[in-house]
Structure 1
Amino acid sequence: MKRILLRGATIVTMDRQGELAPGDLLVEDGRIAAIAPALDVEDAEVVDLPGHIVIPGLVNAHMHTWQTALRGLASNWTLLEYFRRMHAGLATAFAPEDLYIATRMGALNQLDCGTTTLADWCHNNPTPEHDDAALEALLSSGIRAAFFHGTPKPDPQPGQAPFWEVPHPRRELERLLRQHQGRPLLAIHAAVLGPHYSTLDVALHDFRMARELGVIASLHQGGGPARTPEGWQRLEEEGLLGPHINIVHGHALSDEQLQRFCALGMSFSAAAESEMSQGHGHPLTGRLRRFGRAPSLGVDLESVLSGDMLTQARVALGMQRSLDNLAYREQHGAIPPTTTIVTREALSWVTVEGARMLQQLDRIGTLAAGKQADLVVIRATDLNMQPVHDAVSSVVFHASLANIDSVMVAGRWKKRSGKLLAGDLARDLERLRASGAKITRALGLAH
C-alpha cells in the first residue's frame, strides 16, 4: 500500500498531541506513521489540505442497520408502537436479501457521513442465511464493523416459547466467530436480551456464554417494566459483570446500580435523539459524568432519524447542557456562570468512547502514530463553516454531511472529494427502494 501524506490541515487528534494547526499526517501500510507540524517525506502521494480539518473516524456505537429500507417510517412512533409495528410486524417480512441491501446501504451512508466504525446491532436474523447476508453486506461496504449477533423479537406463536424464554443461539454465534476470525475490519460480538427483556435463566445463560467466548455482550436496558427485576443482582452475584458488558440506553437503573456498574468497568451507549423521541427518558450522559464516566453514542434507528453521528453528538451535548442549566437555575435562581460540558467532550463521545466501548481504543478513536488510519477530512472553507475560530466547536456545532470531504478506513479512501467510492449506487438505491416497498406492502403500510 502506498504512502499518503495529508499536508497542511488542522488536525484534531483527540490524543496527547492535541491540535496541530497546521499539521501533516503520514499514512503507511494502513496505519498512521507520523503526525507533526511539518513532515519531510519522499515517495508519498501528497494531499494538500489547507482550510480542512482532519478528525478521527467517527464511531457509531449502536445501530440497527437492518432498518435502512424503512427510513422515516417510525418517526412518529413511541417505543411501544415501535415494538408492536416493527418487531412483531415489519421485521417478520425480511428475507436475507432485504437484510443485505439494508445493511450495505446503511453502512455506506455511515461512511458518507464520516463514520468509519459501525456497531451493527442485528436482531432481525431468524436464520443463518440472514446472518450471512448482513455480514456479506458489511464486508462489501468497506466499513470497519462490529457485528453484534442478536435474535428476533416476534410475538409468541401458539406452541412456541416466547423470545424472552429462549437462550441466545450459542452454536450460531460460534459459527460466525469461526468463519470470520482474523478479518481486519470485522469483529463479532453478542447482542443479548439482558435481564430487562428475558427470564433469569436466559440472562444467566447468555452472560456466561459471552464470558466463555470472549465477546462483548451488549443489551438494551429500559423501555417498560423489567421481566426480571432482580436480574442484575443475580448476574453480579455470579461474577458475570465486567468491562465486556455494554448497556444500551440504561434507563431505570438506580444511581446505586449505575455507580456499581461504572466501578466494574461496564460500558454505556446512549442514543440521545432516539431516546428522547420515543419515550425512553433523558440520556444517561449526566448521570455517568457524576461517576467519572462518559457514554458512547449511537444512531439507534434510521427508521426514525438521521444516520449522522455529528448530529448525535450535538443532540446529546445540547440535551445535557439543558438539563444542567435547568438544575442550576432551579437551585440558584440564575443562569449558570459557565457551561458544564465543552465541545471536545462531545466529540470524544463519538470517537474515543465508541472505540473504548468496542475495546479497540488501542487501534481507533484517536489519531496517533501506530493506530489504524481511520480519519475524516472536513472541508472548513465552506460557507457554513467560516470563519473557524475553534476547530472542535466548528466540527461539533457547524459541520454536516455537506462538509464531509473525504473518509479513510485503514489507509484506504472510502470517500474522496465529496464522492462516496461505492460502485453503482443508483442500482443499489433501487434495490433498497424495492425492498422497502415489498416489506411495507406485506404489512399493509404502503402509501
Structure 2
Amino acid sequence: MAQRTLIRGASIVTMDAQGDLPVGDLLVAGDTIEAIAPQLAVDDAQVVDASGCILVPGFINAHMHTWQTALRGVAANWTLLQYFKNMHAGLATVFAPEDLHIATLVGALNQLNCGTTTLVDWCHNNPTPAHNDAAVAALLQSGIRAAFFHGTPKPDPRPGETPFWEQPHPRAEVERLLKAHAGEPLLSIHAAVLGPHYSTLDVAMHDFRMAQELGLIASMHQGGGPARTPDGWERLEAAGLLGSHINIVHGHALTDAQLARFCELGMSFSAAAESEMSQGHGHPLTGRLRALGRAPSLGVDLESVMSGDMLSQARIALGIQRSLDNVAHREAHGSIPPTSTITTREALGWVTIEGARMLKQQDRIGSLAPGKQADLVLVRADTLNMQPVHDAVSAVVLQASLANIESVMVAGQWRKRDGRVLGADIPSLLERLTQSGQKITQAMGL
C-alpha cells in the first residue's frame, strides 16, 4: 500500500471547483491527493498537524533562466539592451557544465524553499550536450517538478560564423534528451525556440515544425526591439503551425489583433512582471489578456535581477495591473473606481492554475483535488505578519512572505519541512555557487 499522509486542520485553498474549506483535512496516498474534506477519519496515515496554516497548491514558476543563479544581483541595474550585451554576449560565454549544474541545483532548491513545486527552466546557455546533461541532472537532484525547455545560446557572432538567429534549433539534441529522460515522473522536455521575433523565417518554420512533430511545447520570447521576421506569425499560422502548444513570453510587441487571434488559437502567455518593468519591456500583458477573457502564467525570469519568490511576482503583477486599471478609470471618469478590477484569487491563479495550463498539465497540477498530484504548500499563518486572517487567499497573496513558507510537498514527498529544505547540504552548495559566480564575473572583468 502507498504511504499515506493526512494533513489535518488547515485552512484549505483548493483553486478548484469544489471550493475552499475554512478548516479541513487533506489525505495524500503515494504521489496523489486521495481526499479533501472538513474532517477525515484515517487510521493508517502519518498525521501532520496543520492548524494555524493555510494549505495552497504548489506554485508554478512558468519562466526562469535558472542558469543565472550564481549571478544574483549582477544585472540588477541593467536595461534589456545592457542585459543582451553583458549577459548573452559576455558572462554566458564563460559557463562550463559544472557552472550550469550548481546554478540550476541551487536555483531549483530555492524555488522549493519559496513554495514553487513546478519550475519551467528555460535554459538557453547550453552550447554542448554536457551543459544540458548538467542542468537536467541538477533538476532531478533537487526533487522539484521540472519542465526543461531546451534553448540555444545567444553570443555575438564571430567573423565568418553563422549568427544564432540563422541557426535552426538542434533537433537531434532535443530528441536525445527526450529519449534519455523518457518516463521520468517529475521531468518533461520541451523547446525554448527563437520564434519569428528573434530568427529568420526559415529558422522559425523549422523550429515550429520540430515542436509540432515531436509533441513539444514551443516557448519563445516576443519583444525587445524590431522583429527579424515582421510577417512571421502570419506565415506560421498559414502553415498550420500555431496552436495550444505555443507559449509566448513577455509579448509586448504583439498587436491587439495578433493577441486576439492567438487567444482564439489557444496559445498561452507567460509574463514576468517585475523583470519586464525593470528592464524596459513595458507593462505586462495582464490587462490586455483579461480583456480577451484570458490570463497569464507568471515567471521570475531572472534571478540575476530579482528574487526567486513567486508570491512577489503575483503581488507585483496584481499591483501594476490594478494601478493601470485605476488610472484608466480616472482618466475616463474623473474619479476613483468604485471597486478593484482584479481579485487576489485571480492573482493566485496566475501562479497556480495558469502555470499548469501553460504546461498543458491542468489535469495533474495547479489545484488541489482528489486524483491530482500532491504538490502543495503549507503557509504558516498564526504569525505576527499574518494574523488575523479574514480571507485566506488575500492573506497568502498580499501578506505572506518566504518566512511563512513552512512546508512544501512535491508528488507526495516533503521537500521542505518546518521551514527547512530537506535532502541538501546547503552550506556546501552555497560555497560552490559562490566560487562559480566569482569565476564567471572575474573572467569578464566585473
Task: Please say whether Structure 1 and Structure 2 have the same fold, judged by a TM-score greater than 0.5.
Answer: yes
Q: Tell me the equivalent position of 2:319.
A: 318
Q: Tell me the equivalent position of 2:99.
A: 98
CA deviation map 1:165-196 (0-9, x unaligned): 00000000000000001100000000000000
What secondary structure, in the 3-state scheme, does the structure 1 residue paired with 2:33 have?
strand
| Aligned mates of 2:253, 2:133 — CA distance in 1 | 35
Give yes or no for the alignment of 1:209 onto 2:190: no
CA deviation map 1:298-343 (0-9, x unaligned): 0000000010000000000000000000000000000000000000
| Aligned mates of 1:2, 1:211 — CA distance in 2 | 39
Give yes or no for the alignment of 1:374 onto 2:383: no
Q: How many residues align?
A: 445
Q: CA deviation at 1:18?
A: 1.4
| Aligned mates of 1:422, 1:258 — CA distance in 2 | 44
TM-score under structure 2 length normalisation: 0.99
Q: Tell me the equivalent position of 1:224.
A: 225
Give yes or no for the alignment of 1:112 onto 2:110: no
What secondary structure, in the 3-state scheme, does the structure 1 residue paired with 2:118 have?
strand
Q: Is the 8 A contact 1:59 1:116 kept in 2?
A: yes
| Aligned mates of 2:183, 2:319 — CA distance in 1 | 40
Give yes or no for the alignment of 1:307 onto 2:308: yes
CA deviation map 1:21-71 (0-9, x unaligned): 100000001100000000011111111111100000000000000000000
| Aligned mates of 2:175, 2:186 — CA distance in 1 | 18
1:41-440 pair list within 5 angstroms:
41-440=42-441
Q: CA deviation at 1:132?
A: 0.1
| Aligned mates of 1:394, 1:31 — CA distance in 2 | 27
| Aligned mates of 1:252, 1:6 — CA distance in 2 | 46
Q: CA deviation at 1:422?
A: 3.0
| Aligned mates of 1:75, 1:89 — CA distance in 2 | 16
Structure 2 counterpart of 1:395, one-letter code = V
Q: Report runs of 4+ in structure 1 exceeding 4 Å deviation.
A: none
CA deviation map 1:271-323 (0-9, x unaligned): 00000000000000000001110000000000000100000000000000000
| Aligned mates of 1:272, 1:388 — CA distance in 2 | 27
CA deviation map 1:350-409 (0-9, x unaligned): 000000000111000000000000000000011000100000000000111000000000
CA deviation map 1:129-163 (0-9, x unaligned): 00000000000000000000000000001111000
What secondary structure, in the 3-state scheme, does the structure 2 residue paired with 1:16 have?
coil
| Aligned mates of 1:222, 1:3 — CA distance in 2 | 47
TM-score under structure 1 length normalisation: 0.99
What secondary structure, in the 3-state scheme, does the structure 2 residue paired with 1:432 have?
helix
What secondary structure, in the 3-state scheme, does the structure 2 residue paired with 1:175 have?
helix
Structure 2 counterpart of 1:308, one-letter code = D
**Identity over the aligned pairs, expressed in percent?**
76
| Aligned mates of 1:136, 1:157 — CA distance in 2 | 31
Greater mean alpha carbon deviation, residues 420-429 or residues 104-113: 420-429
| Aligned mates of 1:61, 1:36 — CA distance in 2 | 30
Q: Tell me the equivalent position of 2:25.
A: 24
| Aligned mates of 1:192, 1:54 — CA distance in 2 | 36
| Aligned mates of 1:164, 1:398 — CA distance in 2 | 44
What secondary structure, in the 3-state scheme, does the structure 2 residue paired with 1:377 have?
strand
| Aligned mates of 2:137, 2:288 — CA distance in 1 | 38
Q: Is the 8 A contact 1:108 1:141 kept in 2?
A: yes
Q: CA deviation at 1:423?
A: 2.1
What secondary structure, in the 3-state scheme, does the structure 1 residue paired with 2:338 have?
coil
Structure 2 counterpart of 1:72, one-letter code = G
| Aligned mates of 1:244, 1:125 — CA distance in 2 | 23
| Aligned mates of 1:433, 1:18 — CA distance in 2 | 45
CA deviation map 1:91-116 (0-9, x unaligned): 00000000000000000000000000
Greater mean alpha carbon deviation, residues 83-92 or residues 414-423: 414-423
| Aligned mates of 2:204, 2:10 — CA distance in 1 | 49
What secondary structure, in the 3-state scheme, does the structure 2 residue paired with 1:8 have?
strand
Structure 2 counterpart of 1:180, one-letter code = H
Structure 2 counterpart of 1:256, one-letter code = A
| Aligned mates of 1:352, 1:69 — CA distance in 2 | 30
| Unaligned stretches of 5+ residues in structure 2 | none
Structure 2 counterpart of 1:161, one-letter code = T
Q: Is the 8 A contact 1:108 1:422 kept in 2?
A: no
What secondary structure, in the 3-state scheme, does the structure 2 residue paired with 1:444 have?
coil
What secondary structure, in the 3-state scheme, does the structure 1 residue paired with 2:121 have?
strand
What secondary structure, in the 3-state scheme, does the structure 2 residue paired with 1:386 have?
coil
What secondary structure, in the 3-state scheme, does the structure 1 residue paired with 2:361 have?
coil
What secondary structure, in the 3-state scheme, does the structure 2 residue paired with 1:92 have?
helix
| Aligned mates of 2:15, 2:269 — CA distance in 1 | 20
What secondary structure, in the 3-state scheme, does the structure 2 residue paired with 1:273 have?
helix
Structure 2 counterpart of 1:125, one-letter code = N
| Aligned mates of 2:165, 2:87 — CA distance in 1 | 17
| Aligned mates of 2:17, 2:334 — CA distance in 1 | 39
| Aligned mates of 2:380, 2:41 — CA distance in 1 | 24
Q: Is the 8 A contact 1:71 1:302 kept in 2?
A: yes
What secondary structure, in the 3-state scheme, does the structure 2 residue paired with 1:282 have?
coil
| Aligned mates of 1:385, 1:157 — CA distance in 2 | 55
Q: CA deviation at 1:17?
A: 1.9
| Aligned mates of 1:19, 1:214 — CA distance in 2 | 35
Structure 1 counterpart of 2:329, one-letter code = Y
What secondary structure, in the 3-state scheme, does the structure 1 residue paired with 2:173 have?
helix
| Aligned mates of 2:360, 2:3 — CA distance in 1 | 28
Q: Is the 8 A contact 1:77 1:278 kept in 2?
A: yes
